[in-house]
Amino acid sequence: LQSHSAPFSPQRILQTLIVLQAFFGYIPPQAQEWLVRKTGTHIADIRSLLSFYSFLVDTPPPAFHLRFANNIIEQHAGLDELHERVQAELCGTDCIIETTSCIGLSDHPLPVLVNGFPVTRLDMNNVHDFCNLIRSKTPLECWPESWFGINNVVRHSGPLTRYQYIPGLGIKNAQGLTREQIIQQVGDAGLRGLGGAGFPTAFKWHWCEQQPEPIKYIVCNADEGEPGTFKDRFYLTKQMDRVIEGMAIAARAVGARKGYIYLRGEYLYLYQAIQQELQHAKQIGILNDLFEIELHLGAGAYICGEESALIESLQGKRGIPTSKPPYPGEKGLFGKPTVVNNVETFASVTYIFQEGSSAFHSMGTEKSKGSRLHSVSGDCEQPGLYELPQGTPLSKLLSLCGAKATQCVQVGGPSGQLLFPDQFDTTLDFEGPGHGGAIMIFDTSRSVMSITQNFSNFFRHESCGFCTPCRAGTVALTHLLERYTKLPENRQQTSKDLLELTELMNKSSHCGLGKTAGQPVASMLRWANDHDR
Ligand code: SF4
């Protein structure tokens, strides 16, 4: 708390709660009352945040808190058996064992966060030793190194992951340009958002730059929460300097003096390293009095990856998506014009300003320019990170990562599409399905139905509950899917009901989560109809 020097205000409630939790291990009632007095808010506001953000707790913590990822990749890697064994061995100990959708480590199955730190070497052979460490209350810092370690090796590199970065050169090049020229250069490169939406970056920047407001903000969305996605982990770990420089270039383009990085709570273990990178950027002049960046933490709400929900969360509120328009470029953070881009997009900006827009533009296809990272997980010999030019056929990526007997591939995470072999010539670009860079591979030993059910359960769990089509629709989807599986004699009618429901959710949900929640089900039904299942 001593080092939490920023002034207390209602906008800072969430970050202050996170600091309080780091200090006490939980948020005691006295701390909640103290925060009410400090910020002038109501206790109900604090309680409402505690109920929304799953990582915030108001009861004393156990010695160990385990969070297993339970997305379909981890389930296929044997999560249920391992989870049951851990529960049985640790029964009665001072330990909480939970599951969560994704912790950004699907290339390291089976990972588990222990008190927020990733253990990546757990399997059925060493589970007893793991449980012994917990039973004996061995502090995490005394655990053998061999339990930890994240491999951020890029298995197939490309220009963006292997160019010789020269710190400060990109911003120096931008400083010689007017705002319009900077935005023009981003437009000439053909850069589009790499977080999933694929919106033209120059358009976003131009819209924000044009606003007459003197105060503007730059926000880096580092809340990649889509199951199967971990590419931003690479940039946050290995290329944070380029991300920061890209934000500084964006600030110069639109006239912003303040930026925020919103880091997902599951990446808490990267927090210190990112703070150090921010310090280093100050020392070498990339950040200065004209542009500073503050690092914020999320607290376990997937929906905060949606840009308007992220803005709400940065303002200290529950992460409920807001209606658009107005778009953030016009009225975003604290009601001011705001550019929100994803981690990989900002890293690409730095590449463009160091190497030139034509270097970026020369890669990819007519409509999808550049090169990008893909997070590859599931049934293949080499899961991990692959940089490929836009427009690369999915079949080429499957061959590069050693996928064999592939039955289907989920492109773009659960909100993307499930593709089957006759669709493997689909290209990975903004014209194809799912732009978030997550590729989950399933071989012929997997059940398409259980994949779909896992995705539907994920959406049901992550729906923020604000609008009825999504809140009720995601629950109805899981029930109908169960009926589809258990009552084959009713399949025709259930299939019709499911398709009607997914269409309704798509048309009437408030944000992208509800609109896309039915996509995996629709893909599965198309496949089932084609194969008469
Ligand atoms: Fe919330 Fe779902 Fe509605 Fe989006 S669609 S606002 S996640 S309930």
The backbone torsions φ and ψ at residue 358, rounded to the nearest 5 degrees and listed phi first, read -70, -30
Does any domain span residue 176? Answer: yes
Give the model's pLDDT for residue 2: 42
Q: Is the CB of 471 under 6 A from ligand 1?
A: yes
Does any domain span residue 29? Answer: yes
Considering 101, 122, 147, which residue would you say is the last residue of a domain? Answer: 147
| Cβ pair 7, 40 in contact under 8 A | no
Using pLDDT thresholds of 50, 70 and 90, give the confidence band for residue 437: confident
What is the CA(52)–ligand 1 centre distance, in A?
Answer: 13
Exposure string for 299-326, b = 16+ CB within 10 A, e = fewer: bbbbbbbbbbbbbbbbbbbbbbbbeeee
pLDDT, tens only, 198-209: 899 999 999 999
Distances (CA, A) of 117 to 39, 148, 271, 298: 31, 9, 11, 15
Residue 366 DSSP one-character state = S
**Residues 173, 280 within the same domain:** yes
Task: Give me the mean pLDDT over the 282-301 stretch.
Answer: 95
- Choose which residue among 320, 461, 464, 508 to substitute to test ligand 1 binding: the one with the highest number of ligand atoms within 8 A of its C-beta: 464
Give the model's pLDDT for residue 489: 86
pLDDT, tens only, 210-263: 999 999 999 999 999 889 999 999 999 999 999 999 999 999 999 999 999 999
**Residues 465, 506 within the same domain:** yes
What is the CA(459)–ligand 1 centre distance, in A?
Answer: 10
Does any domain span residue 254? Answer: yes
Residue 265 DSSP one-character state = G
Exposure string for 254-264, b = 16+ CB within 10 A, e = fewer: bebebbbbbbb
pLDDT, tens only, 296-353: 999 999 999 999 999 999 999 999 999 889 999 999 999 999 999 999 999 999 999 9
Give the model's pLDDT for residue 5: 47
Q: Is the CB of 390 under 6 A from ligand 1?
A: no
Residue with tokens 């408030």: 510
Q: Is the CB of 4 under 6 A from ligand 1?
A: no
**Residues 376, 347 within the same domain:** no
Q: Which helix (H) or strand (E) holds 385?
A: strand 384-389
What CATH number does the domain containing 85 carry?
3.40.30
What is the CA(11)–ligand 1 centre distance, in A?
Answer: 23
**Residues 162, 263 within the same domain:** yes
Give the model's pLDDT for residue 10: 80
The backbone torsions φ and ψ at residue 143, rounded to the nearest 5 degrees and listed phi first, read -70, 145
pLDDT, tens only, 215-230: 999 999 999 988 999 9
pLDDT, tens only, 23-36: 999 999 999 999 99
Does any domain span residue 58? Answer: no
**Residues 203, 267 within the same domain:** yes
pLDDT, tens only, 344-403: 999 999 999 999 999 999 999 999 999 999 999 999 999 999 999 999 999 999 999 999
| Cβ pair 339, 218 in contact under 8 A | yes
Using pLDDT thresholds of 50, 70 and 90, give the confidence band for residue 6: low
The backbone torsions φ and ψ at residue 69, rounded to the nearest 5 degrees and listed phi first, read -80, 135
**Residues 178, 206 within the same domain:** yes
Does any domain span residue 524? Answer: yes
**Residues 303, 422 within the same domain:** no
What is the CA(467)–ligand 1 centre distance, in A?
Answer: 5
**Residues 351, 435 within the same domain:** no
- Range(s) of the domain holding residue 143: 64-147
Cα–Cα distance for residue pair 166/468, rounded to 1 Å = 50
Give the model's pLDDT for residue 1: 44
Does any domain span residue 5? Answer: no
Q: Is the CB of 461 under 6 A from ligand 1?
A: no
Overall number of domains in the chain: 4
Does any domain span residue 4? Answer: no
Given a cut of 90, whether residue 16 has pLDDT beyond it is yes
Q: Is the CB of 465 under 6 A from ligand 1?
A: yes
**Residues 443, 502 within the same domain:** yes
Collapsing DSSP states into helix, strand and coil, what is residue 393? strand
Given a cut of 60, whether residue 287 has pLDDT beyond it is yes
Provide, rounded to the nearest whole percent, the portion of the chain with pLDDT above 90: 87
| Cβ pair 452, 496 in contact under 8 A | no
Give the model's pLDDT for residue 468: 95
| Cβ pair 115, 64 in contact under 8 A | yes
- Choose which residue among 101, 456, 463, 515 to substitute to test ligand 1 binding: the one with the highest number of ligand atoms within 8 A of its C-beta: 463
**Residues 204, 327 within the same domain:** yes
Does any domain span residue 457? Answer: yes
What is the CA(50)–ligand 1 centre distance, in A?
Answer: 19
What is the CA(463)–ligand 1 centre distance, in A?
Answer: 6
Average pLDDT value over all residues in the chain: 94
Q: Is the CB of 466 under 6 A from ligand 1?
A: yes
Q: Is the CB of 505 under 6 A from ligand 1?
A: no
Considering 147, 178, 199, which residue would you say is the last residue of a domain? Answer: 147
Peptide bond into 159 cis (omega under 30): no
| Cβ pair 363, 389 in contact under 8 A | yes
More confident residue, 288 or 11: 288
pLDDT, tens only, 113-135: 999 999 998 999 999 999 999 99
- Choose which residue among 313, 471, 475 to substitute to test ligand 1 binding: the one with the highest number of ligand atoms within 8 A of its C-beta: 471
407's tokens: 């039955």
Q: Compute the radius of gyration of the chain from its Cα atoms.
A: 23
What is the CA(325)–ligand 1 centre distance, in A?
Answer: 16
What is the CA(512)–ligand 1 centre distance, in A?
Answer: 8
**Residues 193, 298 within the same domain:** yes
Considering 121, 147, 173, which residue would you say is the last residue of a domain? Answer: 147
Give the model's pLDDT for residue 392: 96
What CATH number does the domain containing 409 carry?
3.10.20.600
**Residues 171, 83 within the same domain:** no
What is the CA(321)–ligand 1 centre distance, in A?
Answer: 7
Q: Is the CB of 510 under 6 A from ligand 1?
A: yes
Given a cut of 60, whether residue 3 has pLDDT beyond it is no
The answer to ipTM > 0.85 is yes
Peptide bond into 295 cis (omega under 30): no
Give the model's pLDDT for residue 78: 94
- Burial zone of 124 (CB within 10 Å; 0-12 exposed, 13-18 middle, 19+ buried): exposed
CB-based contacts of 357, cutoff 8 Å, min separation 6: 185, 186, 188, 189
